[in-house]
Amino acid sequence: MKNSKILYLGLILALVSACGPSEKTKQLMQDAKTSFGILPEKMPGSEKDTPAKIALGEKLYFEKRLSINDSQSCSSCHGTLGKTAGVDNLPTSPGALGKNGDRNSPTSLNAGFHFVQFWDGRAADLKAQAKGPILNPVEMAMPSEAAVEKKLSEIAEYVDLFAKAFPDQDKKITYDNLAEAIAAFERTLITRDRFDEFQAGNHRALTSDEQKGLETFLSAGCIQCHNGPLLGGNSFRKLGQVNPYENTTDVGRSAVSKNDAEKYFFKVPSLRNIALTAPYFHDGKVATLPEAVKKMAYLQLGKELSSEEVDSIVSFLKALSDKNRSN
């Protein structure tokens, strides 16, 4: 009986060992950690956020009364409920008065990890970003900061919520505090996916096809722009580094910096949740993820990827979807 138990335990250990990661997979896990780094547990600035500030920010994020005709909220273009991934999945978004903006709405998920906000980087952080759309005449179209403050001051619930969120300030309802509260809520919008688990040492978190896709992603050179824990979101790059992009209407970063050398430069989007945020590019003109992968390789790297390579990379990119939002 004793020998049988020893033999049984030996078989179990052998099976466990056989099912462990191969040396190639171990190296790929290490390469993933080294190449991208680990997504932090918390966003910069969140150490100062309080439950009251976050609760106020969440309510403001979904508040349509922040628009001129009570029709539009932050959530209208950057949905976060259920399976939505911080976008509206439209090429460009309609504003409160029915006119569409010029650019595709970027996701609000993980946005606080980005080095700047908006496609052209005109806002330094989430707080600065939150101030923009409310007063933008094409988006929420409120006429002034004072008008926003007056509107909120006439709502008893907000008088109470601002007082709880900013107890030490003489004037509670200010446009600056509004933006700070929305930013506090957005700092909670961190997603977790199977790639995180793979980096942490779970070799089964990615399928063999997805691991092959990661290898292809690295070897093809996608990492030149899509690096860091977000696989992007940390630099400006010219759209059309090798081959020009056909849409030359939007000059991108140079409109903000007034530097012609930055013409057609845009913030590199994060690839976290990219499979959930179609359509793609700053103008929303690329409908599908395979099309986006193939086009980016041609525009940025001068490469014509095969269908097999495109499918392989797309397989990996789908593993970057938040576990609570992916199907």
On whether residue 57 sits in a domain, the answer given is yes
Residues 142 and 183 in one domain: yes
The number of folded domains in the chain is 2
Rounded to an integer, what distance in angstroms lies between the CA atom of residue 127 and that of residue 48? Answer: 13
Structure-block tokens of residue 300? 């940025």
Count of CA atoms in the C-beta half-sphere (13 A) of 151: 19
Alpha-carbon gap, residue 202 to 321, rounded angstroms: 17
Residues 6+ apart with CB under 8 A from 6: none
Pick from 187, 219, 243: which residue ends a domain? 187
Residue 296 assigned ligand-binding role: yes
Smallest CA-to-CA distance from 284 within 77, 79, 89 is with 89
Any known ligand binding at 282?
no
238 strand-pairing partners: 265
107-158: pLDDT as tens digits: 999 999 999 999 999 999 999 999 999 999 999 999 999 999 999 999 999 9
**Residue 215: burial class (beta carbons within 10 Å; 0-12, 13-18, 19+):** middle
Say whether 191 sits in a helix, a strand or coil: coil
Q: According to the annotation, is 77 in a ligand binding site?
A: yes
Model confidence at 13, pLDDT cuts 50, 70, 90, reads very low
- The reply to whether 16 falls in a domain is no
Determine the structural domain holding residue 164 and report its residue range: 51-187
Whether residue 279 has a cis bond before it, omega within 30° of 0? yes
Residue owning tokens 């050179």:
221
Gyration radius (Cα) of the chain, Å: 23
Q: State the pLDDT at residue 41.
A: 95
* pLDDT at residue 172 is higher than 80: yes
14 in any annotated domain: no
Tell me if 2 is assigned to some domain: no
Residue 19 annotated as lining a ligand binding site = no
Instruction: Indicate whether 218 and 301 sit together in one domain.
Output: yes
The pLDDT score that the predictor gives to residue 14 is 46
What pLDDT shows up at residue 157? 98
User: Is residue 172 domain-resident?
Assistant: yes
Q: Is 226 annotated as a binding residue?
A: yes
Q: Comparing C-alpha atoms, which of 71, 82, 72 is closest to residue 105?
A: 72
In-domain check, residue 213: yes
Q: Where a domain ends, among 129, 157, 187?
A: 187
- Whether residues 66 and 157 share a domain: the answer is yes
Domain shared by 259 and 167, yes or no: no
Which 8-state DSSP code applies to residue 268? P
- In degrees and rounded to multiples of 5, residue 173 shows phi and psi of -85, 95
Tell me, yes or no, whether 29 and 104 share the same domain.
no
- The answer, yes or no, to whether residue 171 has pLDDT greater than 80, is yes
Whether 180 is catalytic is no
Computed over every residue of the chain, the mean pLDDT equals: 94
Q: Are residues 169 and 291 in the same domain?
A: no
Closest-CA residue to 257 (of 116, 125, 83): 116
Q: Any idea what the CATH number is for the domain that residue 162 is in?
A: 1.10.760.10
Q: Where in the chain does DSSP place strands (E)?
A: 236-238, 265-267
Q: For 278-305, give the DSSP string.
A: -SBSTT--B-SHHHHHHHHIIIII----
Cα–Cα distance between 132 and 142 in angstroms, integer? 10
* Angle (CA) 104 316 19, round 5°: 155
Same domain, yes or no, for 267 and 291?
Answer: yes
Same domain, 218 and 180: no
Tokens representing 6 are 């020893």
- Rounded CA separation 140/284 (Å): 20
For residue 201, which phi and psi values (nearest 5 degrees)? 115, 0
If asked whether residues 211 and 115 sit together in one domain, one would say no
- 160 and 270, same domain (yes or no): no
Q: Is residue 12 part of a domain?
A: no
Among residues 164, 187, 210, which one ends one of the domains?
187
Are 182 and 287 part of one and the same domain? no
Query: Is residue 173 domain-shared with residue 253, that is, in the same domain?
Result: no
92-113 pLDDT, tens digit each = 999 999 999 999 999 999 999 9
- Residue 173 CA to residue 155 CA, distance in Å, equals 11
- Exactly one of 58, 139, 180, 186 is catalytic; name it: 139
pLDDT tier, 4 (very low <50, low <70, confident <90, very high otherwise) = low
Q: For residue 247, is it within any domain?
A: yes
